[in-house]
Amino acid sequence: MKKIELIGLDGIGEVHRGDSVGQLICDACERQQLALADGDVLVVAQKIISKAEGRMVALATVEPSARARELARELDKEAELIEVILGESRQVIRTGGRAMIVETHHGFICANAGVDQSNVGLKQVALLPKDADRSAREIRGEILRRTGKQVGVIVSDSFGRAWRVGTVDVAVGVAGMAPIKDERGLKDRHGYELKAAVAAVADELASAAELVMGKRDGVPVVVIRGYDIQIKEEGSVRELLRPAAEDLFR
């Protein structure tokens, strides 16, 4: 019987600039008497990493450009917010209704460049971490130092999708594991050679963790136990980004 557990980590509490998220996680595991094991995956909500890394902007300090003011009128949003989004964006992919879909400097295509107003305090916004692979590696390193255990780490955020309603959580940073499981060329039980069998397992792990996190429940870290990760020292979220030349929907 295959079985996977998704375990919410309690008591991380409010995270402040300069905090070590890795230390907060190790402390919370100790309080919860949860001994991390080799092959566990830790999914960490982007928000607490952005707070720890100081990736917060007070909208009152932002001076909107002419372009931001124009887009703000078109989309019925605050010009200061649009200015922040444009600063995080490589290009605007689509606008329509109140939606603004951009490509971030990291290469993510998502609404509002991942800039988020929830759970950060009024009149503030949280930006995505500058390099969430690095953030994930730092957490992984801290866990290795404290516990001697080799875990995979995923930094997650909630992204909308084309064609379907609602968000699902996906990986925006990865450390210590392969984010995709590629079974192309292997054969199924009938001898058919699999052609499309590339599963975005880091995204699926992030989505699974969201079921425990929720949007308002204050559970920013989930331990996933029992999933057979493929250990990969140099694993990166970049492996999940489809090259523009191969993308039919830009």
The minimum distance between CB 91 and its own copies, in angstroms, equals 13
Q: Which amino acid is at 77?
A: K
Quote the CA–CA distance of 150 and 176 in Å, as a whole number: 8
**What's the alpha-carbon Rg for the chain, to the nearest Å?**
19
Q: How far is CA 68 from the centre of its chain?
A: 26
**Residues composing the chain:** 250
Is the distance from CB of 36 to CB of 29 less than 8 angstroms? yes
Q: How far apart are CA 100 and CA 95, in angstroms?
A: 5
Nearest CB to its own copies, comparing residues 2 and 148: 2
Whole-number minimum distance, CB 129 to its own copies, in Å? 18
- Nearest approach in angstroms of CB 150 to its own copies is 19
Nearer to its own copies, 14 or 145 (CB): 14
62 or 109: whose CB is closer to its own copies?
109
Return d(Cα 35, Cα 187) in angstroms, integer: 37
The owner of tokens 């949003």 is: 77
Of 92, 49, 100, 55, whose CA–CA distance to 74 is shortest?
Answer: 100
Residue 32 CB, nearest approach to its own copies (Å) = 6
Pick the closer one to its own copies by CB: 145 or 188.
188
Least CB distance to its own copies at residue 24 (A): 16
DSSP state of 103: E
All residues at 6 or more sequence positions from 98 whose CB lies less than 8 Å from its CB, including other chains = 75, 76, 77
Of 65 and 117, which CB lies nearer to its own copies in the complex structure? 117
Residue 232 to residue 237: CA distance in whole angstroms: 12
Q: How far is the CB of 65 from its own copies (least distance, A)?
A: 23
Nearer to its own copies, 145 or 242 (CB): 242
